[in-house]
């Protein structure tokens, strides 16, 4: 019999259409899967809904399918939502003991609202570090989220719960957020697909304290499901003053066409600036060779950038200080110690220092804009390493201070607002997933998805799922 937890969203919708199974069947299977695997990985906060609520949504969807009147593109598909985004019916605690659970909690974030309009079934909220501040997922509120390929390792973050959930079959679709790699980092560590769209392509409300660094994006089994999700969550929402204009056409239709003739720059180490683990470097290079074999014009070329980490820290730490500005001393004592540290640092920056970081960001964006006049896509490793021990911000013995020390390929493209995706292209000797990053010029989301989909279709992207449970 078909294991419904192993199916993509596209396959579930096709099965509903053909009457092979129902949204109730799929939702029950996902809820059972969560019960089986979540004690080992801790991917769910389970504040958004309960089994009865999810099954009620599924039953309503099943009725629509029986009548031949599906409500939308993902009617009846189980979806999880990172506990940063508003999901009506329960509190959004953002991984923090300082957020009060009391209140009406009667509003959806724009991306959640679009999914609800299309009939999605919400099975739960996924874990996040406090206010999404770091590249691994642990918090004083919900504890440590672990990697489905090895529970002694981190899932990555800050959308680590979403990545672990999708990898383990606890719903094929999840909404994540990405302010410095927070979709791509955990997707890479957990062997799934993740997309950070162009900033403003997916509306966001409330606005992030981290400003225009923070994007909302799909976390899925493959690029085709991400395109399906993008066709839903990019719908307009008046609450986001910075949203982009309407999308022309469908992201799903844009998957066709392959990569033949595309100009692709492969930067294996940002010009020697990044020390990449040999297993990661080898897997990414093999995948890039496969891309060339599919007809892309691939050239080793590095973008004209130096590491913008200090400017990123100024922007990021200032945002952290802002999001915690209202807290009392007693509430501050409840924060993640690392978060307290960066908030103290962020509160010390002057307006001139912040604007100087904005200038660095603008120059980086200009240089990447020029780079993309010569190349359609940039390919890099997503991360220079595979998942390390759970519960740590940086790998033991690395000498690094902050999570940005091991994510040099991700946060620059939050500063430039470009679309960037990660696809799994292999595993290391310990069986841990390795990701390849595809970066496009601003607004080239459809091209990034098309290139990623081509890699999946050719068998270059995609790895066997974890065996946990």
The whole-angstrom separation of Cα 429 and Cα 7 is 27
Number of Cβ within 10 Å of residue 328's Cβ equals: 9
Give the residue carrying structure tokens 């020697």: 272
Residues contacting residue 59 through CB under 8 Å, at least 6 positions apart = 23, 24
Choose, from 61, 82, 188, 267, the residue flagged as catalytic.
Answer: 82
Choose, from 111, 158, 188, 267, the residue flagged as catalytic.
Answer: 158
Number of Cβ within 10 Å of residue 240's Cβ equals: 18
Which bin fits 169, alpha (ψ -120 to 50), beta or left (φ > 0)? Answer: left
Please answer whether residues 189 and 163 qualify as being in contact, where contact means their C-beta atoms are separated by less than 8 angstroms: yes
Q: What are the φ/ψ torsions at residue 220 (nearest 5 degrees)?
A: -145, 180
Q: Which two tokens stand for residue 218?
A: 């799909």
Query: Distance of alpha carbon 206 from its chain centroid, rounded?
Result: 18
Residues contacting residue 397 through CB under 8 Å, at least 6 positions apart = none
Give the residue carrying structure tokens 């399918």: 65
DSSP 230: H
DSSP 110: H
- 196 is an active site residue: no
Residues contacting residue 460 through CB under 8 Å, at least 6 positions apart = 287, 290, 291, 425
Report the first-to-last Cα separation within the chain, whole angstroms.
18
How many separate helices (H) and strands (E) can be counted in the chain? 14, 14
Residues contacting residue 191 through CB under 8 Å, at least 6 positions apart = 149, 167, 424, 427, 433, 463, 465, 466
Choose, from 162, 182, 188, 318, the residue flagged as catalytic.
Answer: 182
- 158 is an active site residue: yes
The whole-angstrom separation of Cα 282 and Cα 393 is 26
- 18 is an active site residue: no
Sheet holding 433-440, edge to edge: 121-126, 78-82, 173-178, 215-220, 193-196, 420-427, 433-440, 377-381, 263-266, 297-300
Q: Are strands 78-82 and 173-178 parallel, antiparallel or unpaired?
A: parallel
Q: Which two tokens stand for residue 200?
A: 């403003």
The whole-angstrom separation of Cα 69 and Cα 448 is 32
Residues labelled catalytic: 82, 158, 182
């Amino acid at each position: 019999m078909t294991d419904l937890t192993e199916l993509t969203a596209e396959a579930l919708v096709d099965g509903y259409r053909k009457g092979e199974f129902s949204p109730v069947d799929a939702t029950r299977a996902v809820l059972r899967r969560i019960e089986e695997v979540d004690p080992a990985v801790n991917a769910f906060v389970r504040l958004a809904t309960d089994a009865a609520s999810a099954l009620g949504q599924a039953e309503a969807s099943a009725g629509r399918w029986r009548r031949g009147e599906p409500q939308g593109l993902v009617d009846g598909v189980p979806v999880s939502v990172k506990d940063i985004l508003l999901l009506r019916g329960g509190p959004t605690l953002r991984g923090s003991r300082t957020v009060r659970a009391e209140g009406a909690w009667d509003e959806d974030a724009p991306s959640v609202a679009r999914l609800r309009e299309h009939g999605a079934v919400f099975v739960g909220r996924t874990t996040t570090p406090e206010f999404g501040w770091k590249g691994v997922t642990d918090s004083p509120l919900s504890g440590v989220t672990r990697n489905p390929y090895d529970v002694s390792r981190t899932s990555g973050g800050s959308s680590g719960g979403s990545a672990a959930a999708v990898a383990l079959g606890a719903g094929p679709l999840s909404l994540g957020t990405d302010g410095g790699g927070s979709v791509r980092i955990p997707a890479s560590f957990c062997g799934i697909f993740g997309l950070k769209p162009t900033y403003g392509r997916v509306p966001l409300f409330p606005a992030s304290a981290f400003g225009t660094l923070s994007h909302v994006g799909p976390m899925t089994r493959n690029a085709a499901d991400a395109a399906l999700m993008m066709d839903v969550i990019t719908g307009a929402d008046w609450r986001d003053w910075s949203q982009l204009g309407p999308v022309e056409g469908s992201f799903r239709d844009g998957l066709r066409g392959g990569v033949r003739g595309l100009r692709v720059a492969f930067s294996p180490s940002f010009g020697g600036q990044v020390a990449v683990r040999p297993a990661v470097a080898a897997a990414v290079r093999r995948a890039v060779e496969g891309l060339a074999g599919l007809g892309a014009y691939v050239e080793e070329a590095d973008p004209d950038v130096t590491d913008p980490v200090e400017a990123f820290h100024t922007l990021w730490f200032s945002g952290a200080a802002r999001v915690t500005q209202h807290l009392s001393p007693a509430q501050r004592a409840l924060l993640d110690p690392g978060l307290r540290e960066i908030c103290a640092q962020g509160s010390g920056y002057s307006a001139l220092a912040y604007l100087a970081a904005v200038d660095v960001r603008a120059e980086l964006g200009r240089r990447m804009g020029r780079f993309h006049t010569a190349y359609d896509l940039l390919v890099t490793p997503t991360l220079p390493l595979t998942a390390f021990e759970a519960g740590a911000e940086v790998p033991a013995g690395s000498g690094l201070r902050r999570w940005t020390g091991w994510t040099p390929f991700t946060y620059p493209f939050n500063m430039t607002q470009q679309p960037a995706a990660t696809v799994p292209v292999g595993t290391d000797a310990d069986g841990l997933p390795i990701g390849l990053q595809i970066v496009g010029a601003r607004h080239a989301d459809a091209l990034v998805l098309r290139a990623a989909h081509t890699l999946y279709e050719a068998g270059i992207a995609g790895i066997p799922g974890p065996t946990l449970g």
